Amino acid sequence: MRSDLLRFADWSSPVRPVARELSSALPDGDEGRPPLLFVPGLGHGPWAFTEHWLGHAARRGFPAHAVGLRERGDLRAYAHDVVQTAASLPRQAVLIGHGAGALVVSRALARYPARAGVLVAPVLDGWAGLGAALRANPLGTLPAIVGGALRLSRRQLFSPELPVEQADAYRGRLVPAGARAQWQLLAHRAAPRPVGSPPVLVVGSPDDRVVPRAALDRTAARFGAAPLLFPGMGHDLMLDAGWAEPIDAILDWLGKELPPTTP
Amino acid sequence: MHDTGEVADRRAAVCVIGAGASGLAAIKNLREHGFAVDCYERETSVGGAWNWRHHRSPVYAGTRLVTSRARTEFPDFPMPDTWPDYPDHTRLLSYLERYCEHFGLAEHIWFGTEVVSVVPAGDGSWDVTTQSPGGGASHTQRYAAVVVANGHNWAPYLPEFPGADSYRGRLIHAAMCKDPAQLRGRRVLIVGGGNTGCDLAVAGAQHAAEVWHSTRRGHWYGPRYLAGRPVDQVQARLLRRRVPSPLRRWLYRRALRLVVGDLTRHGVAPPPHRPDLGHPVRNGQLAEYLHDGRIVAVPDIARFDAVGVTLADGRHIEPDLVVAATGYRPQFEFLAPELLDTDAEGRPDLHLHAFARQHPTLAVVGLLEPDAGLLPLAHWQSVAVARWLRLYATDRARAAQVQRRESTRAPRGWSGRRAGPAPRDWFAVESTRYLRALEDLLTRLEPA
């Protein structure tokens, strides 16, 4: 795998700036923990993390931020938004991406030396994801094939334990993703190797109907580890019933991998 | 003379000399590759040449980049995309300060500490002696490797001008001219066709009573924008489309003729045939002032006399202030010249302008004059140095193999032909070609 020294695309056509939404939850004191930057997937926004995970991470001493990706961007622009936001934080950040946000994070890791990377229910294996989506929810998936909006069902996103009205409220906040972004989910090339060799954790659910178990295993194998699994949960681990377990596991892992630095 | 005879051994740690842009990149990349790092910086803050508070800094009030943001930023730490296409020096300094803070580099830097001596200590290790810039106690520590990043834009180079001793006006180097007010009302002769010389000529046109601009040879004076885009973005577009080099140069010359016009009718020396080697000169205002007659282009200085200057074409002019924008010369006072294979002129002989040929654990970062930004090249140079040192420490046999392969590589592959006689021309590189050579090396330095 070659280094990424000659960046003609960036040199000739830099990504245009946009106003990026950033939600933050900061701990009371500074314990030297690295800032966490959460990246939502298609249809989601920073709200998906502010609901639970951001505040929880802050209460455990980690400065937590969630970035909103621009509208109608492509994969390069999304990765640019993540890298720009990470570079604007006071300290070297941990990048945490969910769903298609994990794909964006995998590209950002090749452009920014993150302290660590966490890929949550990562949609990195596009064609397998399409197959799983068609099996689980054909009516919601077929329009995406012809350029319409991909719609995920309640059963794809959440476990039965989450109350129906809560699940429907969350689904109501999803916005349709652009066709271009959806196609890039399928047709993208593999991301280059992360710079600086950060530790990478893959987290998911074996019952995820968007990211099949085999895809989780393949993604984790690329980073030389086994995935951390939370049976019974749906695709949206950060919103589902039992949301505390995955974020606690992630923070425990970060605590082991990255001892706090004295500021 | 030591305060104590004891040498503290830092074992596998690497010593970085200088906390300018190149030094910061070296600290970060060495740390990223697992090395402990001590950096010694004679000033009390980071930024090196870009910190105008430093007394050796060449930066003046109007200094701004002549390479656009995308080609100037570190590859793994972008400048804010809301910044102007060509950030000025204050923004660049704040960017370097943020880089330092973001990656926690300050805890590895000993400020207010000057390196006075670096000597081999056997088996590739180095004894580094430091002291406060004002003198006082010195300390010596032993390191596994030394990375020199003390910059090459701080020791002014003033060529010998015949008869300068008899001149009764003022002759100063551009490094002493940081404020345009120094030119107010004066009859000024600016010597040198680089960006600093052009900037000073333009400043003189705005403030001085009379301005002459003397250049030894012609330059391609380009604008900073072409068709509303930064020039180097336009050039990168041609590179991206693999337009061959001669056609690219021809297009550039045609564009310059269209935008800037033929300056030789104003007495400017004809530019050289190949426009794209060495650091670009980009000053859109110079042509306007030449057209207006506010700047008079003159040839090289033949000799000084008491009241003025006789030029190479025989003309005599009488400036009361002469500013030599003749660049800087790299200096490594703490190193014996043979360690870098430095010749009598002061030019080191380094592989890829970075690696000491006889000393695998000695490297220089940032000693380049590229046609694009220096920061990306310094970044990748320091990545290569870090990977090399890691390989050298862990797999000596493979390291020797890589070294043999690299030593057979012809300098032409990465340095291009020699662009000219000035010190800055020693390190002129075409950045794309240089990056390809580095990429090749980095690939070979990958863990097996």
Say if the Cβ atoms of B77 and A13 lie within 8 Å.
no
Q: Which amino acid belongs to residue B203?
A: A
Q: What is the pLDDT of residues B104-139, one digit of tens each?
A: 999 999 999 999 999 999 899 999 999 998 888 999
A8-42: b (≥16 Cβ within 10 Å) or e: eebbbebbeebebeebbbeeeeeeebbbbbbbbbb
The tokens describing A198, both together, are: 């950060």
Taking phi over 0 as left and psi of -120 to 50 as alpha, with beta for the rest, B151 belongs to: left
Residue-level pLDDT at A141: 78
Is position A246 within any domain? yes
Is position A148 within any domain? yes
Is position A150 within any domain? yes
- CATH assignment of the domain containing A176: 3.40.50.1820
The tokens describing A209, both together, are: 């109907």
B233 and chain A in contact, CB less than 8 A: yes
Averaged pLDDT of chain A: 89
Is position A262 within any domain? no
Task: Give B78's contacts in chain A (Cβ within 8 Å).
Answer: 80, 83-84, 87
Task: Give B232's contacts in chain A (Cβ within 8 Å).
Answer: 11
Token pair 């500074």 is at which residue? A30
The residue that leads in pLDDT, A178 or B119, is B119
Q: What is the pLDDT of residues B70-100, one digit of tens each?
A: 999 999 999 999 999 999 999 999 999 999 9
Residue-level pLDDT at B2: 43
pLDDT band at B203 (very low <50, low <70, confident <90, very high): very high
- Spatial separation of the C-alpha atoms in residues B281 and B250, rounded to whole Å: 17
Q: For residue A190, what are the domain limits? A: 3-257
Mutate to test the interface with B, among A2, A5, A22 (most CBs of B within 10 A): A5
B436 and chain A in contact, CB less than 8 A: yes
DSSP H helical segments within chain A, as ranges?
Answer: 8-12, 47-50, 53-59, 75-88, 100-108, 126-136, 138-145, 154-157, 164-173, 179-187, 213-222, 244-257
CA A235-A240-A243 angle, to 5 degrees, is 110
Nearest to A84 among B78, B104, B442 (CB): B78
**Element at B227 (helix H, strand E):** none
Please give, rounded to a whole number of angstroms, the shortest distance from the CA of B102 to a CA of chain A.
4
Is position A140 within any domain? yes
Is position A263 within any domain? no
Residue of A nearest to B107 (CA): A263
Say if the Cβ atoms of B239 and A87 lie within 8 Å.
no
Say if the Cβ atoms of A83 and B78 lie within 8 Å.
yes
Whether residue B326 has pLDDT greater than 50: yes
Residue-level pLDDT at B19: 96
- Spatial separation of the C-alpha atoms in residues B284 and B307, rounded to whole Å: 32
Say if the Cβ atoms of B69 and A80 lie within 8 Å.
no
Q: CB–CB of A254/A94 below 8 Å? A: yes
In 3-state terms, what secondary structure has residue A180? helix
Residue of A nearest to B435 (CA): A5
B53 and chain A in contact, CB less than 8 A: no
The residue that leads in pLDDT, A35 or A180, is A35
Residue-level pLDDT at B314: 95
Task: Give B237's contacts in chain A (Cβ within 8 Å).
Answer: 8, 12-13
The residue that leads in pLDDT, A43 or B130, is B130
Nearest by Cα to B293 from B322, B260, B265, B256: B265
| Domains and their CATH numbers in chain B | 2-155+328-444 (3.50.50.60), 164-223+260-324 (3.50.50.60)
The tokens describing A217, both together, are: 């295993």
CA B146-B149-B150 angle, to 5 degrees, is 115
The tokens describing A120, both together, are: 């949550």
The tokens describing A107, both together, are: 């590209």
What's the rounded mean pLDDT across residues A181-188? 74
**How many A-B residue pairs are in contact by the CB < 8 A criterion?**
83
Is position A209 within any domain? yes
Is position A57 within any domain? yes
Please give, rounded to a whole number of angstroms, the shortest distance from the CA of B122 to a CA of chain A.
31
**Overall number of domains in chain A:** 1
Task: Give B239's contacts in chain A (Cβ within 8 Å).
Answer: 8, 11-12
Query: How would DSSP label each residue in A197-256?
Result: ---EEEEE-TT-SSS-HHHHHHHHHHTTSPPEE-TT--S-TTTSTTTHHHHHHHHHHHHH
